[in-house]
């Protein structure tokens, strides 16, 4: 099934069920008000939402209405935890188009800000263009409870929903330790979150072994920027990322784990961030030509199924640069 949260003026919004073609929706009132309630009591509430989803897709939902992604908050507007991994080859490995992936047993994980996750149409903001604003297109999972010490296989059993994510980065701050905590201050999520069993076409699932094998499409100002298959070259799958987190503590239902920027070894696949493209340009020609994001730019991130339809709805962000005239001192 597909779930979204409409902006009703509250912090947690109003949960709706969305049709498979993203054309219509129905309030989940009477079943659950917010997505966190569903994640807290998944085994009891999700079957009721599934019944409503089936009714909606058969055109029999009495109070269905047209779905408008512009009215959406993040599916989970605030989470218990946001962990961002680095599950793909580094930009240097991508540039080299290495024939075989490194056998990595662990991947760096960084905690992000989860108190106010953004909707898909929220602006990508920064105080000044000199902060070098950038995006990092990613895939994320929302979890149920996961016990401390869980294995990757056990962790995967707790994946409840998948969504797209765009992490804002201020690249000018990367080498300033005092500002490192704010390296990814904002995360926007796709309008819709999707259960793994929804990711099946012609009897074949795109979700297998903790990887989503669909192409993540990115464009900047309407021009194609990247088309990386999120399943190819993912060296640390979601179960392994979650298990790494569970070495120290358990995960609560309502945690979000992101793959981090999706990359492919094949340079022809393009890039899912400006930083990676600039790195490739530096390696190939000695200079970076692609500019950082600026006022009035637009970033669009989407993922299509084999049927050509958007799976999660698009993240579509306009860039807004504020009036700050100087970077803060480290």
pLDDT value, residue 80: 95
Average pLDDT over residues 204-212: 97
**CA-to-CA dists, residue 265 to 99, 216, 268, 319, angstroms:** 8, 14, 9, 29
From CA 44, how far away is CA 59, in angstroms rounded?
Answer: 24
Largest CA distance in the chain: 61
CA 136, CA 241: separation in Å to the nearest integer? 18
* pLDDT tops 90 at residue 116: yes
Least confident of 126-135, 230-239, 244-253, 306-315: 126-135
Q: What is the pLDDT of residue 90?
A: 78
Overall average pLDDT of the 224-251 stretch: 96
| Tokens, residue 192 | 């819709």
Please give the pLDDT value at position 294: 95
Q: pTM of whole model > 0.95?
A: no
Buried b (16+ CB within 10 A) or exposed e, 148-165: eebebeebbebbbbbbbb
- Please give the angle made by the CA atoms of 296, 302 and 305, to the nearest 5 degrees: 160
pLDDT tens by residue, 133-174:
999 999 999 999 999 999 999 999 999 999 999 999 999 877
Q: Residue 13 burial (CB < 10 Å; 0-12/13-18/19+)?
A: buried
pLDDT over threshold 90, residue 180:
no
Query: What pLDDT shows up at residue 106?
Result: 52
Average pLDDT over residues 37-54: 98
Check: CB of residue 297 under 8 Å from CB of residue 319.
yes
Domains by residue range for the chain, with CATH: 1-73 (no CATH), 74-321 (3.90.850.10)
Read off the pLDDT of each residue in 292-316 and give the average, rounded to a whole number.
97
- Distance from C-alpha of 5 to C-alpha of 48, rounded to nearest angstrom: 17
Separation between Cα atoms, residue 8 and residue 153, nearest integer Å: 38
Q: Which range has the worst mean pLDDT, 34-38, 97-101, 238-242, 317-321? A: 97-101
Give the pLDDT score at 157: 98
DSSP string, 43-80: HHHHHHHHHHHHHHHTT--TT-EE--GGGB--SSSS-S
Average pLDDT rounded to a whole number, residues 265-285: 93
Q: Cα separation of 322 and 303, whole Å?
A: 30
Mean pLDDT of 210-218: 98
Q: Cβ neighbours of residue 183 under 8 Å, at least 6 residues apart? A: 110, 169, 170, 173, 174
327 secondary structure, DSSP code: P
Question: String of b and e for 186-222 (b: at least 16 CB within 10 Å)?
Answer: bbbbbbbbbbbebbeeeeeebbeebbbbbbbbbbbee
pLDDT band at 98 (very low <50, low <70, confident <90, very high): very low
The stretch 43-61 carries a mean pLDDT of 97
* pLDDT greater than 50 at residue 82: yes
User: Average of pLDDT values for 116-139?
Assistant: 94
Task: List the end-to-end C-alpha distance of the chain, in Å, as a whole number.
Answer: 46
Pairing type for strands 315-321 and 124-126 reads: parallel
Could you give the 3-state DSSP secondary structure of residue 225?
strand
């Amino acid at each position: 099934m597909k779930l979204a949260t409409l902006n009703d003026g509250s912090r947690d919004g109003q949960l709706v069920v969305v049709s498979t073609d993203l054309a219509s929706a129905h309030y989940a009132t009477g079943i659950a008000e917010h997505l966190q309630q569903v994640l807290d009591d998944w085994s009891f509430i999700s079957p009721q939402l599934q019944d409503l989803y089936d009714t909606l897709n058969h055109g029999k939902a009495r109070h269905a209405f047209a779905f408008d992604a512009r009215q959406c908050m993040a599916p989970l507007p605030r989470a218990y935890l946001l962990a961002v991994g680095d599950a793909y080859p580094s930009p240097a490995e991508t540039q080299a188009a290495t024939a075989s992936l490194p056998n990595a047993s662990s991947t760096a994980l960084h905690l992000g800000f989860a108190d106010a996750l953004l909707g898909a149409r929220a602006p990508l903001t920064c105080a000044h263009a000199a902060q070098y604003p950038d995006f990092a297109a990613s895939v994320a999972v929302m979890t149920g409870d996961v016990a401390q010490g869980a294995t990757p296989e056990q962790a995967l059993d707790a994946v409840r929903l998948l969504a797209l994510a765009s992490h804002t980065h201020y690249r000018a701050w990367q080498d300033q330790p005092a500002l490192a905590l704010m390296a990814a201050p904002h995360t926007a999520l796709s309008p819709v979150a999707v259960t793994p069993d929804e990711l099946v076409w012609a009897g074949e699932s795109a979700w297998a072994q903790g990887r989503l094998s669909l192409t993540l499409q990115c464009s900047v100002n309407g021009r194609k920027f990247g088309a990386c298959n999120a399943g190819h070259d993912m060296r640390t799958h979601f179960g392994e990322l979650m298990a790494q987190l569970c070495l120290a503590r358990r995960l609560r239902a309502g945690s979000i784990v992101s793959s981090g920027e999706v990359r492919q070894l094949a340079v022809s696949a393009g890039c899912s961030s400006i930083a990676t493209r600039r790195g490739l340009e530096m390696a190939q020609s000695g200079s970076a030509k692609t500019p950082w994001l600026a006022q009035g730019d637009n970033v669009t991130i989407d993922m299509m199924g084999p049927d050509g339809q958007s799976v999660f709805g698009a993240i579509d962000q306009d860039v807004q640069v504020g009036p700050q005239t100087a970077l803060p001192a480290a």
